[in-house]
Structure 1
């Protein structure tokens, strides 16, 4: 049954006994006095919880001092206990001397005898750098880059260098000026930018290792590299001219790659044709020589028959592929040859020049016959006159 319900005998849970009709909250001053009395009893002071008397003024002052001491101890312990996160590490110094590097977890140290330096070591940090400097060919360029780094050794970061971040920035400027100062401007502005970042990273890391800063450079990104704004237009023209030069070279190489194989193929074809012609001529010459040797043997056996046969074969070869007209003249003893084929060719040429079809009309044929007859009569008369003169 609750103490304030009927029949509960008015029992006060705060230890005040039966207070009759007073059902209000307990007195805070009285509760504080009881707490001080308990502390005084613990530390040997006068008056205990059973004395029932109000402590004097001197006793109350001693209790306040003890309370202050307890609060100070609690505050000291609260400050001495600390937590190291997974991405952090802590370095403990005792009287300024290195003691240990603390891993993640709950730990405690004892100030002012010990000093704690706690910082993030797994997270990468970045800062930008932008500088104007001279290149090897004495041109001014402006290079902007960003450096990504983290703390690899917290002990060195805390103890070796007074201001590691400032040392990092100054070392970056030094490494950048050294690399750019040993490179030409064209390389810095164009294809050498990636190489520039790698060289700056390597040189910067060597500087930081020699200083013992405990920093690790993960990446150096060259964000931009350009000449000063006052001469930017002129450098753009130079870059465009170089691009045009490269384009012309590529076109020339493409043309050469197309023409040279064709020329080599034509040259090889001509060589093969020449070799074939040589083989043909040599083989034909060998065959003619062999035929002449065999013909000589037959000629020695029957000279007259062979000579007659050679004459007939030759005339057949000569006259077999040409057009010819032979006219037997009465009263004569020989055949006359008229070049009618040549006359026909001349007639065809004249007809083609005038737009004719190339065929002889009846009138043209009669005229041609009359000319042939007149020529035959003239030759016959000349032949008779020549015989009478003799």
Structure 2
């Protein structure tokens, strides 16, 4: 069988095509690796655009190979191949080209969709990847020159057309490289470069599809680039083609000659309007470009100016300002007074109560120090304090805060048990969590300040929620009893302290009183002793009277008149029981006999009674 290895490789066209194909495959592989390292949409688009280069060069090589086979009349396999092609009626090369064209259509629409609707990706290592693409463009330039020189010497139209396509790839690689370099300096046109490359792939797919359809219509074998995309687009505005289409429509609709002339005049007017509309569109685009030099900053906003990626140090006050048009200077406006909020841990579904035995949406479980799983629902509020740090270091603040908060939550939760986190020390660990997150944000120079961390809910998994509710209820009852005990303690302790203070004060006063009284008695005794030494008779009598007074004090006394006729022995009858009826009767009888009424004085406070003798 005849293949590329057995073919006459002395043919310079095939050799140039094979060398170009190998280099393009290698460069495409490098571009996909660069996309893996950078994540740039422009690199992704350029890598797939290089795949279209591979498809084009492959079809050119196959075409050259087939044409070389057709020139070899002594080759038996060529006749068998021609017989198979006649039976198939369709050239396999055209079928492959059609499939490649459809595939490139899908790739182009995918790139355009990502360019306009996908989120902006953060490009990693933009400077390094940009330099790599600038170097790759020299490889495309080498392929372009190789195919162009070979096409000129060998007289190959296919290689000449493919060389123009590789020159376009060289320009696109340079644009991609420069876009990544200026991205490093703060100007992001990655999305626009990707969209432009997507449009180029779409145009190439249209070009390939149109040429394949024309080849199939004419029954030709082999792919030939007969019409470039520019020729296809310009042919739509060709005067003769327009007149032919207009005449065909008029004949189809049965329009008279007079109406044809009227329609022709309308077409002329429409052409003039289109021409002027182009001028007006260009003027409008120019005015729109100049309008990018004006910008406004509101009272609640802060702004900064970047000139080719470098931040201007000038302070921008609220009001209307003037700058250089895009892309020379770019203004970035921040709403610095607005408080932003991000939910971390778990996020509950909207309009759903946070009840422990109900599913809230997310089920991201954390573990505590006592090996209990739980689901925290935390809301973090923050605002931008330094717009320069924020602009230079932050691209997705919600993702950054969420990741930092999740890491610090895991580190904090594994050091506390569940009920400490859920009930007893909520404010303490929330304050500690806020401090840790703020330190992490400050270490990254984010320019973000946390304003509040609120705990929406903190509950265990659904399967054990009921048991935890019972435990929490018991804990709350225990806490209520302890609070009542603390209240009672706080009430009784001041009263006890006051009573102790009064008792201590009273004891101290009584002690001092007794000490002073004892000292007085001692001084009195000494004075009496001194007086007794000078007047013993008087003092003795005084002491006797004082002793008698002290002895009969607080006792029941009966005073009677000896002349009353009552004998003292009668007073001891009945053992001097005061109130005895017999004693009273005897006293009354004796008084009646003597005619003198006795005087009786009774001290009711003294139970013991004794007579006093004169």
Q: Please give the TM-score of this superposition, normalised by the length of structure 2.
A: 0.38
Structure holding more helix per residue: 2
2:399 paired with 1:166: yes
2:550 paired with 1:340: no
2:461 paired with 1:246: no
Query: Out of 123, 148, 151, which is 2:384 matched to?
Result: 151
**Residues 105-120 of structure 1 mapped to structure 2, 5 A cutoff:** 105=320, 107=322, 110=325, 119-120=334-335
Give the equivalent residue in structure 2 for 1:10: none
2:512 paired with 1:281: no
Classify the secondary structure of the residue corresponding to 2:450. Answer: strand
CA–CA distance in structure 2, aligned partners of residues 310 and 215 of structure 1: 101
Deviations 1:195-237 (A, max 9, x none): 4443333322332333344433233233444566340221221
- How many residue pairs get aligned? The number is 294
CA–CA distance in structure 2, aligned partners of residues 236 and 277 of structure 1: 60
Give the equivalent residue in structure 1 for 2:195: none
Shift of 1:274: 3.1
Give the gaps of 5 or more residues in structure 1: 1-54, 300-304, 329-334, 352-357, 370-390
CA–CA distance in structure 1, aligned partners of residues 280 and 376 of structure 2: 61
CA–CA distance in structure 1, aligned partners of residues 442 and 524 of structure 2: 91
Q: Are 2:532 and 2:539, in contact at CA under 8 Å, matched by a contact in 1?
A: no
Query: Out of 278, 299, 320, which is 1:68 matched to?
Result: 278
Classify the secondary structure of the residue corresponding to 1:221. Answer: strand
Give the equivalent residue in structure 2 for 1:21: none
Shift of 1:152: 3.8
CA change 1:134–1:273 in 2 (3 A) is: same
2:323 paired with 1:323: no
CA change 1:120–1:69 in 2 (3 A) is: farther
Q: Are 2:343 and 2:380, in contact at CA under 8 Å, matched by a contact in 1?
A: yes
Shift of 1:248: 0.7
Structure holding more strand per residue: 1
Question: How well do the aligned residues superpose, as a CA RMSD in angstroms?
Answer: 4.9
CA change 1:68–1:106 in 2 (3 A) is: farther
Q: Are 2:305 and 2:329, in contact at CA under 8 Å, matched by a contact in 1?
A: yes
2:344 paired with 1:129: yes
CA–CA distance in structure 1, aligned partners of residues 376 and 285 of structure 2: 52
Deviations 1:324-379 (A, max 9, x none): 67989xxxxxx97437278486252xx7xxxxxx8977599669x9xxxxxxxxxx
CA–CA distance in structure 1, aligned partners of residues 331 and 552 of structure 2: 126
Classify the secondary structure of the residue corresponding to 2:558. Answer: coil
CA–CA distance in structure 2, aligned partners of residues 314 and 107 of structure 1: 119
**Residues 175-324 of structure 1 mapped to structure 2, 5 A cutoff:** 175-183=408-416, 185=418, 188-189=421-422, 192-225=425-458, 229-230=465-466, 231-299=468-536, 309=541, 313=545, 317=549, 322-323=557-558
Bigger Cα Rg: 1
Q: Are 1:143 and 1:226, in contact at CA under 8 Å, matched by a contact in 2?
A: yes
Q: Are 2:297 and 2:303, in contact at CA under 8 Å, matched by a contact in 1?
A: no
CA–CA distance in structure 2, aligned partners of residues 90 and 315 of structure 1: 109
Shift of 1:258: 0.3
Q: Are 1:91 and 1:98, in contact at CA under 8 Å, matched by a contact in 2?
A: no
Give the gaps of 5 or more residues in structure 2: 1-264, 347-364, 593-614
Shift of 1:180: 4.2
CA change 1:141–1:248 in 2 (3 A) is: farther
Shift of 1:257: 1.1
Shift of 1:253: 3.2
